[in-house]
Amino acid sequence: MTRKSGRKSAGGNAERIRSQIGDRTPSLAIILGSGLGSLADELEERVMIPYAELSGWPRVGVAGHGGELAIGALAGRDVVMLKGRAHYYEHGRPDGMRTPIETLLHLGVRTLVLTNAAGSLRPSVGAGSVMLITDHIVWSGMNPLIGDEGDGRFVDLRDAYDPALCEIFRRAAAATKTMLHEGVYMWFSGPSFETPAEIRAARILGADAVGMSTVPEVILARRLGLQVAALSAITNLGAGMAEERLSHAHTQAQAERARHTLSAVLRQAVKELP
Ligand code: HPA
**Residue 143: which of 190, 111, 187, 201 has the closest Cα?**
187
Q: What pLDDT score does 36 carry?
A: 86
Beta-carbon contacts of 79 under 8 Å, excluding residues fewer than 6 positions away, are 26, 28, 29, 30, 43, 71, 72, 73, 270
Q: What pLDDT score does 62 carry?
A: 56
Beta-carbon contacts of 28 under 8 Å, excluding residues fewer than 6 positions away, are 77, 78, 79, 80, 109, 110, 111, 112, 113, 270, 273, 274
CA of 130 relative to ligand 1 center, distance in Å:
14
The model carries a pTM of 0.95
Q: Determine the atom of ligand 1 nearest the C-alpha atom of 188.
A: 2
Q: Indicate the top mutation candidate among 236, 244, 250, 259 to test ligand 1's pocket, ranked by most ligand atoms within 8 A of CB.
A: 236
CA of 195 relative to ligand 1 center, distance in Å:
11
| CA 62 – CA 54 distance, rounded (Å) | 18
**Phi, psi of 113, rounded to the nearest 5 degrees:** -110, 125
Q: What pLDDT score does 66 carry?
A: 65
**Residue 65: which of 47, 87, 95, 43 has the closest Cα?**
87
Q: What pLDDT score does 1 carry?
A: 46
Q: Which residues of the chain have pLDDT under 50?
A: 1-2
Q: Indicate the top mutation candidate among 188, 193, 213 to test ligand 1's pocket, ranked by most ligand atoms within 8 A of CB.
A: 193
Q: What pLDDT score does 11 carry?
A: 95
CA-nearest residue for atom 6, ligand 1, is 119
| CA 221 – CA 219 distance, rounded (Å) | 5
Q: What pLDDT score does 20 carry?
A: 96
Ligand 1 pocket at CB < 6 A: 117-119, 188, 193-194, 210-212, 235-236, 238, 246, 251
Residues classed as catalytic: 34, 65, 87, 89-90, 117, 212-213, 236, 248
3-class secondary-structure state, position 200 = helix
Measured CA to CA in angstroms, residue 11 lies from 5, 68, 105 at distances of 11, 18, 9
CA-nearest residue for atom 3, ligand 1, is 211
Q: What pLDDT score does 22 carry?
A: 92
CA-nearest residue for atom 10, ligand 1, is 118
| CA 30 – CA 20 distance, rounded (Å) | 19
**For residue 146, what is the DSSP state?**
T
Q: Determine the atom of ligand 1 nearest the C-alpha atom of 251.
A: 9
Q: What pLDDT score does 179 carry?
A: 96
Q: Indicate the top mutation candidate among 213, 234, 251, 257 to test ligand 1's pocket, ranked by most ligand atoms within 8 A of CB.
A: 251
CA-nearest residue for atom 9, ligand 1, is 118
| CA 244 – CA 246 distance, rounded (Å) | 6
Q: What pLDDT score does 250 carry?
A: 86
**Phi, psi of 256, rounded to the nearest 5 degrees:** -55, -35
| CA 26 – CA 169 distance, rounded (Å) | 19
Q: Determine the atom of ligand 1 nearest the C-alpha atom of 194.
A: 1
- In this predicted model, what pLDDT tens digit does every residue of 165-182 receive, in sequence order? 999 999 999 999 999 999
